[in-house]
Amino acid sequence: MGRLRMKALSAIVASASLVLGITGAAPTPALAAGGCRIDYTVPTDWGVGFTGNVTITNTGDPVNGWTLGFTFPGNQQVTNGWNGTYSQTGAAVTVTDVGYNAVLATGASTSTGFNASYSGTNAKPVGFTLNGVPCSGHPAPAVMLTAPSTGADFTAPATIPLAATAVAAAGATISKVEFYDGNLLIATDTTSPYSFDWTGVVAGSYSLTAKAYDSDGLTSDSAPVDVVVNPAPAPNTLGFSQKELFLPRGGSATIDVSVSSQPASPVTVTVARTVGDASITATPASLTFTPDNWNTAQQVTVSAAATAPDAASATFTASAADFTSATFTAAVSNAAQYTQRFMTMYQKIKDPANGYFSPQGIPYHSVETLLSEAPDYGHETTSEAFSFWLWLEATFGQVTENWQPFNDAWAMTEKFIIPSHADQPTNSFYNPAAPASYAPELDTPNQYPSPIDTSVPVGQDPLANELKQTYGTPDIYGMHWLLDVDNVYGYGDTPGGGCELGPTAPGPSFINSYQRGSQESVWETIPQPTCDKFAYGGPNGYLDLFIKDSSYAKQWKYTDAPDADARAVEATYWALTWATAQGNQAQISTSVAKAAKMGDYLRYSMFDKYFKQIGNCTNPNTCPGATGRDSQHYLLSWYYAWGGALDTSAGWAWRIGDGAAHQGYQNPLAAWALSSVPAMEPKSPTAPGDWGKSLERMLEFYQWLQSDEGAIAGGATNSWGGHYGPPPVNDPTFYGMFYDPQPVFHDPPSNQWFGFQAWSMERVAEYYYQTSDPKAKAVLDKWVAWASANTTVGTGGDYQIPSTLTWSGAPQTWDPTNPQPNTGLHVQIQDFTQDVGVTAALAKTLEYYAARSGDTASRDLAKALLDAMWAHSDDLGVSVTETKADFSRVDDPFDATTGQGLFVPAGFSGTMPNGDAITPSSTFLSIRSWYKNDPQWSKVQTYLDGGPAPTFNYHRFWAEADVAMANADFGMLFPGD
């Protein structure tokens, strides 16, 4: 992720439950199976304790294996039980069968009982459920779609009439019926007949269902009805590649002309100025498209005379017989060169010959393959790259008014980087009362595997049930952070359900990395499949490299990088803002809904890893598990993760957040959009409020971490060392979380890279530009002054910005009622860089800050940086030469004295999919022998043999996209400059 590195989970949970399945559909709605009745009595109560008896009667389909759940309204605490296995977290009690009473036929009953202590009142438990179904004493409602019919065809833009019939059991009524396309809620009707006309439906295939709710909270889903919306017959149209073209006075630019369909005979297209200033001209005046060349765009050169007046503009029209005409507007603008630079960069990035995208259309981390920084190979990709792709296409829509590429990028994001249901198949077994079993993070890789300790208390997950109820699925909607695009490793974990298909799978393949503590650098990682069915690695796959357990289960697992998901939200907010200004917001409504949904699930990053209480956790055994929102710190943490069993007959699933928050991950613009922009607000009832509080907390976080010079220090953690250890003496706190100058990883230190400064402050500047919030301005005033004072621009492409930072001192303990200046917290700049991606982020920060504050010095510095970077243009984009001395670590064996090198535990023996051995003598290179086949490997080999450090000119996707967008934003924000 540029210099960013994702640190993955170090916990596996083995908790099991069964859910009641409802299948089949009848010609008329029949009551769905499911339901139970509870008889609860207290035969003995002695004031400080009591005996409770529970009789369970199954009123639904036969059950083989059951889990009973209920909640005490007071402080009752179960001490022992019989005819069931009892566990309690907070007020929530879970009881599972004990084998001999696992089978409950329809109408059958079983009894279980317990002793408990209490003080005060002893009210009856509430919220009884059996296998997740509320015990109302009657079956769930029945529902079926009566319209449309399966297989129906429509033509876009379609109106699809939806109708459903729903029936409730005796003693209950239907409260509402919802209509869904897959997991997307279309409409809700609370009165019979239940119906809705779904309008404006675009071309595609749809799986429609209805969901009925009864007055007791029971629900049932209809059988799906599959329909197809066919594209409307395409008219013969002409098109320009841009709606607007900006020209410098005395300059020119090209624009593409295209036809939509193959003509039967040659067609002459005329391009003429239809209105506007005569100083703007277009040549040639006519183009010919034939049946052979019709699908190749042709160019027209548009020029502005040196005498063109200020703000001159002209509209040009392309016309041809039997084709719908097209228009574009050309305008003279001093900022035209910056908008045109964006188009130049965009065309280079999207040119298939330049290698930014895979054959499937997935953005690579970099064009070059021989690269190891966060991903350990250039043709892997990250959720970061997908988020920058969305942002690039949003900017393209702003420049051209063409929003189809933005929608296409979101569709690809869903297809390839967000795990589908098939990729996360056992989430239905997840128990929010027991999210995961504790496994400590350890200081160095050679201390792994880490032991699971089920005696350490964990808290309750307050999001799971709300998200499941909102979206009708237990699955997570978030981007996994790492994808092996070409399946170079050979795991073959193909998005959409391919689990360890092997080296012959074409790719892409989900993979994971980083799972062994804060000292694990990229050079010390052992990549592993996200879906581990023990086909590769050792006898237990890769699991026993990381986790110590008495037995190992085949499983799937994913890790989310919250800053990338937040950036996807940020990009979509800008797309919505720009499309709305154009009157085109309806074109991207579906994509906007996806971003809002992603923001709903992104809240998992706001919670402690094991849902422990926030504040002063210094011992894993005594730091309690939290109930409600006591585990929520409201910041964007380093990751959240989720996983589960591959064996559905012994299903279990787990989820974890993270208690470590880095300043470089925070995104106040995304938090503001998700809490304050109606179209962006997530659907879950508590989500907008969570994001509103998160926005406030982020702004306080920046203020707390701002050094005396102006740079922003590392962050805070609720779990020192990743194992809830004691922090350094007198370590300051932020709402009880401990100050950490290098959160999460230490090789290299996570806050030494200036890129985290520029990335984070750009988001603050964008938020300030939209809101004029004085809190954001106060942080920016000081940061911009520091960054500007340490940035220099010369001539001929000579420039430098800060690169490596070192830190000393610490902030004051945060007092929100009386914040103190951090006179004892300092930053030093160790060296400087010309990194084009970071420079672009710095330029964008200066641009948005200047556009709102009126600071012309920041505007001028941003412009100078853009011009200096442009001097480093090449055929693929913009690039500077980098010396990569860190390749010296590529073949280092593990050294117990320094802790450096690739550690493999003694006794472990396994193989990578290509046959590379994994043994205690392995190195980074030895388990990646294919590295030596890279066309640039000879540079590294020469270095290893004693020669000079190799140099490369990289074209990272995120960096090239950011250079393009920095130019476009300057042209948009300062059209007169």
The residues assigned a catalytic role are: 384, 563
Residue 625 makes CB contacts below 8 A (sequence gap 6+) with 89, 90, 457, 458, 459, 460, 610, 611, 612, 613, 631
CB 58 within 8 A of CB 38: no
* Strands 142-147, 77-82: pairing kind: unpaired
Alpha-carbon torsion, ordered 174, 177, 182, 183, to 10 deg: -80
At position 315, the amino acid (one-letter code) is T
Q: Give how far Cα 744 sits from Cα of 4, 9, 293, 597, 754, Å.
A: 11, 11, 56, 27, 17
CB 282 within 8 A of CB 257: no
Beta bridge partners of 498: 494
* Strands 298-304, 252-259: pairing kind: antiparallel
Alpha-carbon torsion, ordered 333, 336, 337, 343, to 10 deg: -170
What tokens does 414 get? Answer: 């869903």
Cβ burial, residue 356 (10 Å; 0-12/13-18/19+)? buried
Q: Distance (Å, rounded) from C-alpha 618 to C-alpha 480?
A: 31
φ/ψ of residue 497, rounded to 5: 125, 5
Chain centroid offset of residue 299 CA: 39
Q: Distance (Å, rounded) from C-alpha 300 to C-alpha 757?
A: 42
Cβ burial, residue 796 (10 Å; 0-12/13-18/19+)? exposed
DSSP string, 475-489: -----BSEEETT-SS
Helices (runs of H) and strands (runs of E) counted in the chain: 14, 50
Alpha-carbon torsion, ordered 470, 471, 476, 480, to 10 deg: -120
Q: Give how far Cα 30 sits from Cα of 23, 190, 222, 784, Å.
A: 12, 20, 11, 66
Nearest to 976 by CA among 343, 338, 400, 307: 338
Q: Distance (Å, rounded) from C-alpha 840 to C-alpha 970?
A: 11
Nearest to 519 by CA among 2, 1, 3, 5: 5
Residue 638 makes CB contacts below 8 A (sequence gap 6+) with 6, 7, 562, 658, 660, 661, 662, 665, 743, 744
What tokens does 406 get? Answer: 């933005």
φ/ψ of residue 959, rounded to 5: -70, -45
- CA 272, 278, 280, 281 dihedral sign is positive
What tokens does 117 get? Answer: 């202590």
Helix (H) or strand (E) holding 295, with range, is none
* Strands 109-117, 103-104: pairing kind: unpaired
For 561-714, list the strands marked E by DSSP: 640-645, 653-656, 660-662
Chain centroid offset of residue 296 CA: 37
Radius of gyration over alpha carbons of the chain, in Å?
30
Q: Distance (Å, rounded) from C-alpha 418 to C-alpha 508?
A: 13
Chain centroid offset of residue 874 CA: 32
Q: Find the DSSP H helices in 915-974.
A: 937-944, 957-973
